[in-house]
Amino acid sequence: MTGNQPIELPNTTAIIFFLIFIGITIGITWWAARRTKSTEEYFAAGRQLTALQNGFALAGDFTAAAGFLGIVGFISLAGFDGLVYAMSSIVGWPLMLFLFAGPLRRLGTYTFADALAFRLNAPYVRLFAGINSLVFILLFLIVQMVGAGNIVQLMFGLPYNIAIVTIGIIMIGYAFFGGMLAATWVQIIKGLLMLIAAVTMLGLALASFHFNPLEMLSAVAAKNGPAVLAPGGGFPNGWETISIGIGALCGLASQPHVLMRVFTVPDARRARASVFCAATIVGLFSAISGLLGFAAMLFVGPAAIKAADPGGNMALPLLAATLGGNGFLGFVAAVSFATILAVVVGLIITGSATLSHDLWGGFIRRGKVSGREQLTVARFATIIICVIAMLLGIAFKGQNLAFIGTLTIAVAGSANFPTLFLAIFWRRLTVVGAIAGMLTGLLSSLLLLYLSPLVQVAILHHAEAIIGLRNPGIISIPLAFLVSISVSLLTFSPKDAARYEEVSKILHGAAS
Amino acid sequence: MSDPTFGRRRSEASLAVLQKTRMSREHRLSLTLAAVLTVIWMVFILLVAFAKGLLATSITSGLTLGLLLAFIVVIVVWLLALLYFLVGNREAPATHSSEGRP
């Protein structure tokens, strides 16, 4: 055990760094608020972001608390299998680049539901795509709020409920006034801070190994046994591994708040460039996180990590304390909290766009809605979602929900990926087929999740679960494809193919 | 090519053909790269799931076959993304920069 240094929280450095972060981001929100007067500015940052800015924001949206704390923690406990999990997030980005980035930017205006409704020429598709988005956003918000509440409680010594309300008020401030522009800059700043923290920590960890990762890994193998560098430490069985692999691959490319960022750049060309930037940043960051996970295993040790938090979420803060002392721990804790805050703001803007643009403007008012009305509804929706987020955070207090973060991604993959893919690449997709596919993906993944040991045993405390599988992806994603394709073939009419021909001119950039 | 009208028509026609081939080429590139990526990833995942012993093979101190393959997969996948980015964005000329719906 090398990591015996006690960590001191609440920590003055953490509070100072955090207050500086809040100060800067409030300044940005004030600046963004003066430039946010239309729906285009509120939902899509005026479509004036550069590819690099958007790439950073995309990468930031992805590296939620689960990405930063979770991956390092998972690797520090499970070794190689944790690394495979980190890799699945790297591989999802190029897939989104190949399949969705360009076509979505060409078809949609603010949300992926736009793109689907336009492709199928059916406004009520928005209803189902909107429900998909809202379910995903609520699930994800629960995880983030509980995580944020815990960190704030730890950092500042505030009672949990007061921590949640404080976070909620800060978020309303960002999202209500600053819209997407503020959300993006909060992400960019946080992303840079996170890279600084990760690179510094890696440097500190590798300093005693002549900056040679292999030398560190052989020290890890010598201390924790060679098995940590081979598969078998993290996933219960082979099928579970495959299910996680499929779920992460498809799910990453279909999260509504990530897809929404495609619309913040001027054109499809820059949408592709920004997703490529994001792929590079996430790749780099995940590689560093991978090494940090092994460093935590070596310097802190799995026993001490588990003692602090059974889920491994404290691995990174513990590593920071061991390598850089309490000052550095404060910095890392502040960055982790900023991470959650930034992701939550993105989720809230996406939820608000779904409610006001897709459900209110597109579905209820059938597009006959002024920009001013939509903006008012959007700001109102922002407050509603923030309040719901606070209530959920309080309701799920004390639950260990970190695992749900990874499963929500599988839910997004099941509900959105098959339909989006078929909408863009298959001319025979029909409206009924699309809706059937979305509903099948959403309901089957949620049902499998409910029946799995994670809910039945861990939350409901039943003796055993009805289904042994923890990750729904291996069943729900193929099922959604199958249903969507079969229903489309049954309901196909030549009109549907004609619509695809019409749309494909825009889809592939051939229309002038 | 002496008749300007004819010339214009021909260029319009060839433009249409060009757009059609470009469109299908873009389409094909997307699907091909997505398929290559999926195959690489699924082979890797299957090895992780069912060939644990093989991946545990030690290459040098601190490096197993599994870690080496993981590194190669990440690099290859990133190169695929780079390829798509370079080819795809070269083929989309600036005239389409204002495309999409408002």
Q: Which residues of B touch A94 (CB under 8 A)?
A: 33, 37, 77-78, 80-81, 84
pTM over 0.95: no
Q: Assess contact for A66 and A402: CB atoms under 8 A.
A: yes
Chain-chain contact of B63 with A97 (C-beta, under 8 angstroms): no
Question: How close B3 comes to chain A (CA, Å)?
Answer: 26
As a 3-state breakdown, chain A gives helix, strand, coil percent values, each rounded to 5, of 80, 0, 20
Least confident range of A50-59, A81-90, A460-469, B41-50: A460-469
Question: How close A30 comes to chain B (CA, Å)?
Answer: 27
Chain A residue with CA closest to B69: the answer is: A84
Q: Assess contact for A9 and A154: CB atoms under 8 A.
A: yes
Reported confidence tier of residue B95, pLDDT bands at 50, 70, 90: very low
CB pairs under 8 A between A and B: 171
pLDDT at A202: 94
- The mean pLDDT of A223-250, rounded to a whole number, is 86
- Residue A228 makes CB contacts below 8 A (sequence gap 6+) with A79, A80, A220, A221, A294, A297
Higher pLDDT, A405 or A105: A105
pLDDT at A4: 45
Q: What is the rounded distance in angstroms from the CA atom of residue B42 to the CA atom of residue A268? A: 29
Q: Is the peptide bond before A418 cis (omega within 30 degrees of 0)?
A: no
pLDDT at A54: 92
pLDDT at A445: 93
Question: How close A192 comes to chain B (CA, Å)?
Answer: 21
Q: Indicate whether A66 pLDDT > 70.
A: no
